[in-house]
Amino acid sequence: MGAKKRDGGDEEEQAIEEDRPHIPTVASSAKGIIFLRKLAHLFRTGTYSISQKTETKVIMDGVNLQFKSGKMYLVLGQPGCGKSTLLKIIANNLRQDKDHVVGGTVSINNVEKSHKPLCWTNLVSYIDQIDRLHSLLTVKETCDFAFQCRLSTHMRATMPADDPDVRKLVEKLDAEDWTVMKVLDAMGLTRVKDTFVGDDSKVRGVSGGERKRVTVSEMSCIGAPVQCLDEMSTGLDAATTFDIVRLLGETCRVADTIKVVSLLQPPPETVALFDELILLDKGKIIYSGPVVEVVDHFENMGYKLPDRMDPADWLQDLPTKDGADFLVDKNQTHLSTEEFVQKFMASGKGEALREQLQAPWMGNLEPIEGKEYTQRYNNSWFKSMRIAFRRELLLWWRDKYQLYARIIQDFLMGIIVGTVFWQSHANPQTVLGVLFQSLFFISLGAMLKVAPQIDVRGVFYKQQDANFYPTGAFVMGRSLAALPTSVIDAVVYGTIIYWFVGLAHNEGATVGNYFMFLLLVLVTAYCAGLAFSIFSATVKDRPSAQAYLSIAVVVMVLFSGFTVQPDVIPNYWIWVYWINMFAWMLRALVVNEYQSGKYSEPISTDPYVEEGESILVRFGFTLADGEPFGYVWTWYGIIFSVGFCLISVLASIVFLNRIRHATGLSLAAHVQEEDEGFDNEEETIEFPFPQANLTFKDIHYTVTASTSDEKLELLKGIDGYIQAGKMTALMGSSGAGKTTLMDVLALRKSSGEIEGEVCLNGHLQESDSFRRCAGYVEQFDTQSPQLTIRETVT
């Protein structure tokens, strides 16, 4: 198998408004304010559109490459040179619209990515430089989920399915999770296979380096013949990077696949593991060929690799202005990027590449077949839904803090509201208020589901791009997994409210009214959660979601029939009342109470009107002819809410397919780089710093395993000292305990058992004073994304 890329290019059209500030502000970002600015411009000049200057930014330009099976390729270059763009073009994972144009062709075995029925994203996998993983899944569960979604079994199309020996072998491999365990063993993750992946804030899990290996392992379990890894060494130490690259090379040659890896400043021993090297600068190829020949290629141009410099650092600096320092002849003019490209294309390697691209394909043209490559999703829709449902239900069960908090919240609010309105069923106004407050509280609880869904949206995007499951199967599985939370709301909160307030259950009413009440509360909680989930698919971030959700809740409350009686709502707004799920459920609860049979006695002023009907008429719960709603309207409310749930699910599917919000981007992408001059004059200021010597003795740190009660000792009797005036390096392989030790010393651990003695200048560590005199730079950046650098540090 081989891959070709011809004349690849990526152009981005940028419309830049005049006098636009570099950092987005409220005035420059709010659509309403932008509209007012354009309207004012219309009155001033008679033209609606504000004058704009359009620039075309070329990210990739004229890239021609050929990849051969069984080889591993290293992509090098300065940050911003186009490494990630190149890998995304190969993986067909790059945004394309009228402002982002991708040209050229990419083919595998002379078959282009547009060829039907070939599914390109099943042939080429893309591993992002940002780890997007579910923190509450273990390492093995994460990889097993990927395997179940994309392969599901070790049986392949080339195997004789009717052979009993083959079937027995496949069943054995499936039972042992052979592929998953082999990948974990290759990546050195067997020891932590039952440990949570964790995150940077709430869930304790594997180390940062191990988390990166989990990302690589997850996408290695799907069996793609071409794999693009974008800066997979981020967060890894040199030894771990070397081990992973070595294992990637071994699997590449054994499975006869293609690995394209971009790295930033890899050490020499890691570079030597690759077969070929691709050097990029400003979106252009300035070298493509064997790793062992790259130094000679540039030295023949008059450059010299310094004795004490790594080849990767030297190659990345060559195209920059600092590359002039490497010229043997200082009178020689430093080559520009275009000149480097011309030199390469004029060399033997460039000529050979041009001939290979122009000549007919001479490699192994084995047909690409098998449903794993021609069928977008390996599993049926219902099987994908079951897999997604099991995972989402497991995540819900694993989030114990959220689960316990929900139960306590329902219990406490039920006790508080129930005791405030204790046995107040005789007052219709109070009962109506209790029913409304119950729906309002349940709806507010459903709002809390939106923020976690936004947090893990990046995981969905990654798995959607990798064809793990259809979007509809994921949304349906997530929706079904949300049902237990609604059941807890109904049973805990609904039961307490019903009996404390004394709602209808006797004197003509039956226990059926109680169960109908629970059903209505359950449907409300479930339907509100699904409706609010639409915002997690459409809005950009948490603050935006909170704003839009607040507006939605206000509208629901205003047109619920409680704040304003239905018979008082103006005709031009009454349609909102009739499409409002909140209003349908409040009407159903009121009808369930006052048409229960408990209020069947006639009123004193009219013997033909029952007390319950009179109450419904008084509060406006009537039909157009003035007749009160009958008990059948409780079922109408349930039917309407079920339909509303289906519409919400369909809307979430459509929006998740059509709307894609960027995740993990930096504000710096919107800031134009400027060269600023600084005075070279040095100013010396002396600050009096008190000396501090830190010592620690016999430090032990023990935690409970993620999925069992087993005790794990992460630090085992650590002794050491850090002397004032000296910089101490804490070294060790990924997962050795470096971050754990620093967290313990810096008082950042809030769980587990810590033993030992920490002293500062001979005095035992005291929390308040130590935090005042110590600073701690954590492994992962935690910054406010909307602040500039200066605003952050000041």
User: pLDDT tens digits, residue range 123-143?
Assistant: 888 988 888 899 899 999 999
Q: Report residue 295 as tokens.
A: 């130094």
Res 64 pLDDT > 50 = yes
Q: What is the per-residue pLDDT across 486-496, written as a single tens digit (0 to 9) for each?
A: 999 999 999 99
Helix or strand holding residue 44 (H, E):
helix 31-45
| pLDDT value at 360 more than 70 | no
pLDDT at 393 over 90: yes
Cβ proximity of 614 and 603 under 8 Å: yes
Torsion of Cα atoms, 21 then 22 then 23 then 24, to 10°: 50
Looking at residue 205, its pLDDT comes to 84
Helices and strands (H, E) in the chain, number of each type = 32, 14
How confident is the prediction for the chain on average, in pLDDT?
81
What is the average per-residue pLDDT within 448-472? Answer: 90
Helices (H), 559-660: 574-579, 581-594, 611-618, 632-658
Taking residues 512-536, what's their average pLDDT?
Answer: 92
Rounded distance between C-alpha atoms, residue 382 and residue 389, angstroms:
10
pLDDT in tens, 162-199: 667 666 777 777 776 788 888 888 788 888 888 898 88
Instruction: Give the whole-angstrom CA distance, residue 602 versus residue 612.
Output: 9
User: pLDDT grade, residue 678 (50/70/90)?
Assistant: very low
- Token pair for residue 368? 């690409």
CA 334 to each of CA 77, 320, 326, 398, 531: distance values in angstroms, whole numbers, following the listed order: 18, 9, 9, 59, 61
Between 762 and 29, name the one with better pLDDT.
762
Strand partners, 101: 11
Residues 683-699 pLDDT 10s: 555 656 678 888 999 88
Query: Range with the lowest mean pLDDT among 23-27, 437-441, 526-530?
Result: 23-27
Give the DSSP per-residue string, 183-239: HHHHTT-GGGTTSB---SSS---S-HHHHHHHHHHHHHTT--SEEEEESTTTT--HH
Residues in CB range of 462: below 8 A, 6 or more apart: 128, 132
Mean pLDDT across the stretch 565-580?
87
Whether 449 and 623 have beta carbons less than 8 Å apart is answered as: no
**H-helix or E-strand spanning residue 15:** strand 2-17
Of the chain, the end-to-end C-alpha distance in Å amounts to 55
Tell me which residue has tokens 């144009």: 101
Superfamily of domain 694-793: P-loop containing nucleotide triphosphate hydrolases (3.40.50.300)
Q: Which has the closest alpha carbon to 473: 643, 653, 642?
A: 653
Give the pLDDT score at 17: 39
Share of the chain above pLDDT 70, in %: 84
Does 611 score more than 60 pLDDT?
A: yes
- Residue 13 φ/ψ, nearest 5 degrees: -85, 125
Confidence bin at 643 (pLDDT 50/70/90): very high
Contacts of 86 (CB under 8 A, 6+ apart): 8, 60, 63, 75, 262, 278, 280
Distance CA 624, CA 563 (A): 20
In the chain, % helix, strand, coil (3-state, to 5) comes to 50, 15, 35
Using alpha carbons only, what angle is made at residue 520 by residues 516 and 521, rounded to the nearest 5 degrees? Answer: 120
Q: Which residues contact 58 (CB under 8 A, 6 or more apart)?
A: 9, 10, 11, 12, 283
**How far is the C-alpha of 291 from the C-alpha of 285, rounded, in Å?**
15
What distance in Å separates the CA atoms of residue 548 and residue 535, rounded to the nearest whole number?
8
pLDDT band at 562; cut points 50, 70, 90: confident
Cβ proximity of 508 and 612 under 8 Å: no
Element (DSSP H or E) covering residue 67: strand 52-68
Provide the pLDDT for residue 679. 44
Query: What is the pLDDT at residue 638?
Result: 93
Cα gap 355→348, rounded to integer Å: 11
Residue 450: closest CA among 525, 506, 559, 529:
529
Bigger pLDDT: 483 vs 669 = 483
With a CB cutoff of 8 Å and minimum separation 6, the contacts of 417 are 434, 437, 438, 441, 497, 500
Specify the pTM: 0.78
Contact (CB, 8 A) for 381 and 472: yes
Q: Which of 365, 580, 542, 337 is nearest to 456 (CA)?
A: 542
Torsion-angle region of residue 106: left (phi > 0), alpha (psi -120 to 50) or beta? beta
Q: Where in the chain is the domain with CATH 3.40.50.300?
A: 1-135+223-363, 694-793
Q: Count Cα neighbours of 325 within 13 Å in the Cβ-side half-sphere.
A: 8
Highest mean pLDDT of the ranges 306-310, 595-599, 775-779: 306-310
Q: What is the pLDDT of residue 271?
A: 92
Contact 520, 435 (CB under 8 A): no
One-character DSSP codes across 437-462: HHHHHHHHHHHTTHHHHHHTHHHHHH
CB-CB contact of 277 with 76 (8 Å):
yes
Q: What is the pLDDT of residues 190-236, one digit of tens each?
A: 888 888 988 877 888 888 778 888 888 898 888 788 999 988 877 67
Beta carbons of 104 and 94 less than 8 angstroms apart: no
| 1-135+223-363 fold | Rossmann fold (3.40.50)
Crossing angle of helices 471-481 and 511-538, in 10° steps, is 140
* 89 contacts 25 by C-beta, under 8 angstroms: no
Backbone phi and psi for residue 200, each to the nearest 5 degrees, phi listed first: -90, -5
- Cβ distance 117 to 377 under 8 Å? no
